[in-house]
């Protein structure tokens, strides 16, 4: 099993858009209305939005490859790119998205470890993320990685307000 992680650039926009839509849709379509899914996907993963995110110097994207095939990606944020005000000592994992056919291959752990490496390189003391309260697989994974629930915030799926748990892992 050959696993590689590669930093994304603006030239990767189309692949990033495809994998974002595919993984988000596969993960959440059964628990949300088609209208709210469509609205969210069009807002979050349109070309202009992803170009903005890719060009933000406080955000980084990384593809994970399994046997030379793009299997998923990681998005991390620091400073003002964080989706919540968590301070200068924090790094946010905004997305760890893995395609269905590559789940349970340990790729999420590789991306998580990449996020830890980045946090340490940037002298961050904690990593945080928001995870939907109904995404039990992800919550279990993050708890195994040492995260603890510390709060919650609202997340909008189309016009529906949902709750994301805020989970934090202290590094130092």
| Contact status, residue 169 vs residue 127, Cβ threshold 8 Å | yes
DSSP state of 81: G
What ranges in 13-86 are assigned the alpha helix state H? 13-28, 34-44, 47-55
Structural tokens at position 53: 């995110």
| Contact status, residue 110 vs residue 157, Cβ threshold 8 Å | no
Active-site residue identified among 40, 73, 97, 142: 142
Q: Active site includes 142?
A: yes
Catalytic residues, which ones?
Answer: 142
């Amino acid at each position: 099993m050959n696993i590689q992680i590669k930093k994304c650039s603006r030239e990767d926009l189309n692949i990033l858009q495809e994998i974002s839509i595919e993984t988000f849709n596969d993960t959440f379509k059964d628990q949300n209305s088609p209208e709210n899914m469509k609205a969210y996907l069009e807002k979050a993963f349109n070309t202009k939005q992803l170009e903005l995110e890719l060009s933000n110097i406080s955000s980084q994207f990384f593809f994970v490859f399994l046997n030379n095939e793009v299997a998923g990606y990681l998005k991390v944020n620091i400073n003002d790119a964080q989706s919540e005000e968590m301070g200068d000592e924090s790094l946010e994992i905004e997305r760890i998205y893995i395609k269905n056919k590559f789940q349970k291959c340990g790729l999420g752990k590789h991306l998580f470890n990449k996020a830890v490496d980045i946090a340490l390189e940037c002298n961050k003391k904690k990593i945080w993320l928001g995870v939907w309260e109904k995404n039990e697989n992800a919550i279990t994974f993050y708890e195994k990685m040492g995260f603890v629930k510390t709060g919650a915030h609202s997340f909008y799926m189309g016009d529906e307000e949902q709750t994301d748990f805020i989970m934090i892992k202290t590094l130092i």
